[in-house]
Chains A and B, each alone.
Chain A
Amino acid sequence: MSVWRRVACAVLLLVAAVSLAANVLAPAGYAKQYREAADSGPSSAHWLGTDEIGRDRFARVLYGTRISLLLAPAAALLSTLMAALVGGLAGYLGGGWARGAMAITDLFLSLPWLFLLIMVRALMPLNVSPLVSVLVTFLMLGLLGWTSAARVLCASAGSLRDSDFVRQARASGVRGARLFWIHVMPNLKPVLYAQFWISIPAFILSEANLGILGLGVAEPMPSWGSLLKELEGLVSVGSEPWKFVPLILLAVVVTSFQIVMSKQEEVAA
């Protein structure tokens, strides 16, 4: 493992650990308001200042990081499983199944990712509880983000279908689901791992985009998207630099994921 990958892993572990300890480290809950100190700058009481309704920004960054860092991998897991099921099965079955499945993926891929996300998210209930909005946002990312991975898996499973060991297993009487689960799926693991790792930063960025456009996690629940929405009210970049902390943290985490997955990308290709 290269030095850079070790550093990236350490950064990710540190950020995850700090965000998981938000209950201990944060001076208050993410929704607690200090109305006497609304929209204030950094101080000893509020390290990153407070937002326009007096909520401690440091606490919100910690809790927001926890939500984004925990749910993006969950959404990535869901999308990878769907890709394995649709792409893997279509590639294994071949023929009309593969063509049908690929036609569906082509349909999804023909629309720009952000356009598809905005369209689908806007059509879902918007005035829901914060917890439901978190689930809806990340569930949608997981349910829509499987298509490009399915293409790769379909091609990989298709090549495995005609491989010697699968032919031998078939000749030995192994059929159907057993052949798929015991012989084909384990050989798709490297591609699945790669797709899982690639999806995480993509979903983190997608949630941030949705949050800034007001279609992400609902208030008062924080996420990187909703925290970045604060940048909309800035007059100039240098006026309140502490508002850029969520952006810097997001960039550091996404960069770390990209360094960690640099090897995985080669497998996915």
Chain B
Amino acid sequence: MLGQRIARHGLTILATALVGGLLAATLVRFAPGFDTDEAQLDPHLNSVSIQALRQSRMEQNNIVRFYFHSLQRAFKGDLGTSISLGQPVSTLLRDRAPLTLRLVGMGLLLSWAATLAMALSAAWLRVSAYDALSTIISGTLLCIPAAVLALLSVLWNVPGALAIALIVFPRDYRYARNLLAKAYSQPHIVTARAKGLSELRILFWHVVPVVAPQLLALGGVSVSLAIGAAIPVEALCGLAGVGQLAWQAALARDLPLLMNITIMVTLVTLLATSSADVIGHVLRGQEA
């Protein structure tokens, strides 16, 4: 049963990533200015070089053929060469992925630490003033565009990871708070409290098993949010990560780079949500 679920998720991830890559390639192919290349205007190039440049662009005109050739090469480890940066895509991704991973990882860690701390304390304390204060903080952050938070992090000289955490936190907090509040209002937990069980015992024995699958699902979604937040943060803070690379690729209509980043982002996002789903399924099974 679990094997079937994992296999189904695996196939969905693969199919979605492949279709996503094809869609990205199609969009770029039909974008205005795709057929033109600044390099063709270089007065240092002779007619043979210009012809070669045109030929290489022509090869990308048939989008399906281009996409399948790219996939064939990708299986051999060759992800193509970036048109705008003139470097192999695999090198660019290898160089920049660690920074983004660190940024997104730290951002998620900070965001979830704040989310759980505030949501749990709101559920434990049950003081309306504290609940209102935490709602106002998360609500205010929710009303500020992600790019403004990125700009403010530059102004205040705050690490990019904190900016990502501040972008992701309010989205996570609202759901986590509601989930925990609902769990704590269940009759068996009210009874456990009345019988004098310690808060920690109630949390780990009665609340966590109920909310863990949903919190895991939320965790999966927050990976996607953090990756999305990494784009403005890296672009505006001048951090050379994959988010900034995606931004540059989109502006330069760099087909090989954009296609590979889209596939990568789709894979990471789907992997996160599917893993959360599978682990949640296992936890629910244990609970049953």
**Measuring CB to CB, which residues of chain A are less than 8 angstroms from any residue of chain B?**
106-107, 110-115, 118-125, 201, 205, 208-209, 212-213, 225, 228, 231-232, 234, 236-237, 247, 250-251, 254-255, 258
Q: Interface readout for B70-82 with A: 1 if CB under 8 Å, 0 if not?
A: 0000000000000
Which of B143, B251, B270 sits near A258, CB closer than 8 Å?
A: B143
The verdict on A209 contacting B145 (CB below 8 Å), with A114-B231, A115-B265, A119-B27 known, is yes
- Give the residue of A121, A124, A236 whose beta carbon is less than 8 angstroms from that of B155: A236
Knowing A118-B250, A209-B145 touch, does A112 contact B155 (C-beta < 8 A)?
A: no
Main secondary structure, interface of A, reads helix
For B28, list chain A residues within 8 Å (CB).
123
Q: How large is the interface on B (under 10, 10 to 19, 20 to 34, 35 or more residues)?
A: 35 or more
Q: A107-B23, A112-B225, A123-B28 are in contact. Are A118 and B247 (CB under 8 A)?
A: yes
B113 within 8 A of A: no
- Which A residues lie within 8 Å of B140 (CB)? 251, 255
Across-interface contacts of A213 in B (CB, < 8 A): 147, 232, 235-236, 247
The one of B19, B151, B224 in contact with A112, judged by C-beta atoms closer than 8 angstroms, is: B224
> At the interface, yes or no: B215 with Cβ under 8 Å from chain A?
no
Is B250 touching A251 in the complex (CB atoms < 8 A)?
no
Using a CB-CB cutoff of 8 Å, which residues 14-70 of chain B contact chain A? 16, 19-20, 23-24, 27-28, 30-32
Are B31 and A113 closer than 8 Å at their CB atoms? no
| Other-chain residue from B139, B148, B227 in contact with A228 (beta carbon distance below 8 A) | B148
Report whether A107 and B20 are in contact in the complex, using a CB–CB cutoff of 8 Å. Answer: yes
A119 and B142 alpha carbons, distance in the complex (Å): 23
Query: B229 interface residue, CB < 8 Å from A?
Result: yes
Partner of B139 from the list A110, A112, A247, A255 (CB cut-off 8 Å) is A255
Known: A228-B148, A231-B148, A250-B143. A125 touches B32 (CB 8 A): yes
B residues less than 8 Å from A232 (CB atoms) = 151, 236
